[in-house]
């Protein structure tokens, strides 16, 4: 397929794009923050930019990874979070609707409130408790409302991003690099560490099935920061 990938310079994108190309897809990799000459600059918050890329490349599917995932940034800059996670997603949906193609939207376990003691399933009702989760859930809503042929994929706690990892693992490593004698980590949250390359391989297979809908995609087991 011809695939337009947004957020290709991020942790998941750097794993997904090679997987897509290894499976003979023609990929246009885009991101707003990149110095990689193989990734073209696209600000998904700007509808004109999104439509220009869509018209030029004529993809058969858009895989929308672009998002603001940092919890603190989202809390401190609410409008920015919604521009990235909702408006950017809405713009991707407009392009998909214009071309008559499906969309793959990467969402998050953060759409839930964390009160359930067992793993969440696709049939549980979202109830986000922070700006990040709420803005990503609004992204889910606009996908469902505008593009019937969609894959909404809620990811587990992503690991395995190497230098692109800005999440828990990288924060622990950063503390060790600074010579910390005491490590600071949340210990009241449980999740499923999900290896980005493995996630990418399953995601590529999913988007070829045409079994549209909402999916939870994670590795086995669960873990906390304790």
CB atoms within 10 A of CB 75: 12
CB atoms within 10 A of CB 168: 18
pTM (two decimals) = 0.88
pLDDT band, residue 121 (cuts 50/70/90): very high
Identified catalytic residue from 105, 132, 151, 215: 132
Q: How many domains does the chain have?
A: 1
165 Cβ partners below 8 Å, 6+ apart? Answer: 11, 158, 159
Residue 195 appears among annotated catalytic residues: no
The mean pLDDT value for 187-199 works out to 77
Domain containing 68 equals 2-224
12 Cβ partners below 8 Å, 6+ apart? Answer: 65, 106, 155, 158, 161, 196, 199, 200
Per residue in 195-205, pLDDT (tens digit) is: 899 999 999 99
CATH of the domain at 211: 3.40.50.720
Lowest mean pLDDT among 38-42, 149-153, 192-196: 192-196
| The predicted structure's pLDDT at residue 170 | 59
Per residue in 163-175, pLDDT (tens digit) is: 655 555 656 666 6
| The predicted structure's pLDDT at residue 133 | 96
Per residue in 48-97, pLDDT (tens digit) is: 999 999 999 999 999 999 999 999 999 999 999 999 999 999 999 999 99
């Amino acid at each position: 397929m011809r695939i337009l990938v947004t957020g290709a310079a991020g942790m998941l994108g750097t794993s997904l794009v090679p997987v897509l190309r290894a499976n003979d897809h023609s990929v246009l990799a885009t991101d707003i923050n990149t110095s990689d000459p193989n990734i073209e600059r696209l600000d998904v918050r700007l509808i004109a930019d999104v439509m220009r890329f869509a018209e030029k490349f004529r993809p058969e599917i858009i895989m929308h990874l672009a998002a603001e995932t940092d919890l603190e940034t989202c809390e401190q800059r609410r409008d920015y979070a919604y521009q990235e996670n909702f408006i950017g997603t809405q713009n991707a949906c407009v392009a998909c609707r214009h071309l008559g193609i499906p969309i793959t939207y990467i969402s998050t376990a953060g759409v839930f409130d964390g009160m359930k003691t067992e793993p969440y399933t696709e049939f549980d009702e979202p109830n986000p408790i922070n700006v990040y989760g709420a803005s990503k859930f609004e992204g889910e809503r606009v996908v469902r409302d505008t593009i019937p042929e969609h894959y909404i994929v809620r990811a587990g706690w992503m690991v395995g991003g190497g230098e692109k990892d800005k999440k828990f693992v990288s924060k622990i490593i950063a503390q060790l690099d600074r010579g910390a004698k005491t490590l600071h980590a949340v210990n009241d949250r449980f999740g499923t560490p999900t290896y980005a390359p493995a996630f990418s391989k399953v995601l590529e297979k999913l988007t070829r099935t045409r079994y549209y809908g909402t999916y939870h995609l994670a590795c086995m087991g669960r873990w906390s920061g304790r």
